[in-house]
């Protein structure tokens, strides 16, 4: 933007959650706390979405865990994390001190795990909890009670996982994968109490080590992310917005520029998350925000609301 030009109003509302701008980090790509703080001002982002946390410490998958692919990466980190109790005590206060608006991401292997995670958030007595504006419920996890199928592969289990987290007392966003009848599963998440939808999680994939004649990653398959999945994410957001226009959507997948964010917002997202791009450039979320503002100014867009769902008009 040129000096003196009016700045576009980038404020956005995700249900009851109001953010100063629509750009967030994506869960799993920026750690559990202030790892990115040396590269950008976390308080300038719409929110910081932390890596998914279980109600207990979890070691994750065996190495190798990450491998580059054309236009992205594949990972099988396996949701390694310190667990919610330790995060609440050690990491959240540092994020709050940095002025970040925080979205806590939770996961579990059973419905009881989801309920336990919600209870831990509800009973946390730390003043730092004031920084937590929402809870992202990651249902792209193996369900031990259903032969290891992903919760998000079933409308019924997605609804049940969201219902199990009701006690957290905060707005809940359901993070879904592009699998099965996504519109049906999105509707089930809303029925379970989700006030917004995060679309989409990584896509299932695999890389074969042709010399060893076996999967390259230690856990076999993994999740594909990065620019290559951008069109899949845009289509997912577009279809769900068309079917559920009153449900706020956070678009994630392949966003590395302001133009990418604009495309996702036109598809129907009221906010976006920047993930894999931060591995190449830790300043990527701030870059996307600056470029989004410049795009709006160059195209005469004074309010973000004028862009949301524009591709459906």
8 A C-beta contact, residue 29 and residue 107: no
Contacts of 156-163 with C-beta under 8 Å, sequence gap 24+, read 156/188, 158/185, 158/188, 158/189, 158/192, 159/188, 159/189, 159/191, 159/192, 160/111, 160/192, 161/108, 161/111, 161/114, 161/137, 161/192, 162/137, 162/189, 162/191, 162/192, 162/193, 162/194, 163/192, 163/193
Question: Looking only at Cα atoms, what is the longest distance across the chain?
Answer: 61
CA gap 115, 67 in Å, rounded: 33
With b for 16 or more beta-carbon neighbours within 10 A and e for fewer, the 199-231 pattern comes to: bbbbbebebeeeeeeebbbebeebbbbbbbbbe
3-state DSSP assignment of residue 192:
coil
Please list the active-site residues.
Answer: 141
CA gap 244, 254 in Å, rounded: 23
8 A C-beta contact, residue 10 and residue 296: yes
């Amino acid at each position: 933007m040129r000096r003196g030009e009016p700045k576009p109003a980038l404020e956005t509302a995700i249900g009851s959650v109001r953010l100063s701008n629509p750009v967030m980090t994506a869960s799993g790509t920026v750690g559990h706390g202030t790892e990115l703080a040396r590269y950008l001002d976390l308080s300038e982002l719409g929110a910081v979405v932390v890596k998914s946390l279980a109600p207990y410490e979890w070691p994750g998958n065996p190495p190798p865990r990450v491998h580059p692919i054309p236009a992205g990466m594949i990972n099988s980190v396996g949701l390694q994390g310190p667990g919610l109790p330790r995060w609440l005590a050690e990491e959240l206060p540092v994020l709050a001190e940095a002025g970040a608006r925080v979205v806590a991401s939770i996961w579990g292997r059973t419905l009881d795990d989801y309920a336990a995670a919600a209870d831990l958030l509800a009973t946390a007595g730390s003043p730092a909890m004031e920084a937590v504006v929402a809870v992202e419920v990651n249902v792209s996890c193996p369900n031990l009670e259903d032969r290891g199928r992903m919760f998000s592969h079933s409308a019924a289990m997605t609804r049940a996982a969201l219902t199990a987290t009701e006690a957290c007392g905060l707005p809940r966003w359901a993070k879904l994968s592009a699998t099965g009848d996504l519109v049906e599963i999105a509707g089930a998440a809303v029925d379970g109490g989700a006030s917004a939808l995060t679309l989409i999680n990584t896509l299932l994939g695999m890389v074969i080590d042709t010399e060893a004649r076996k999967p390259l990653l230690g856990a076999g398959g993994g999740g594909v992310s990065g620019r290559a999945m951008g069109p899949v994410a845009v289509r997912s957001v577009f279809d769900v917005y068309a079917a559920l226009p009153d449900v706020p959507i956070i678009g994630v997948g392949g966003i590395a520029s302001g133009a990418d964010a604009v495309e996702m917002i036109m598809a129907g997202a009221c906010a976006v998350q920047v993930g894999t791009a931060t591995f190449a450039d830790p300043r990527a979320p701030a870059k996307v925000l600056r470029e989004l503002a410049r795009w709006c100014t160059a195209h005469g867009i004074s309010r973000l609301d004028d862009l949301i769902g524009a591709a459906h008009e």
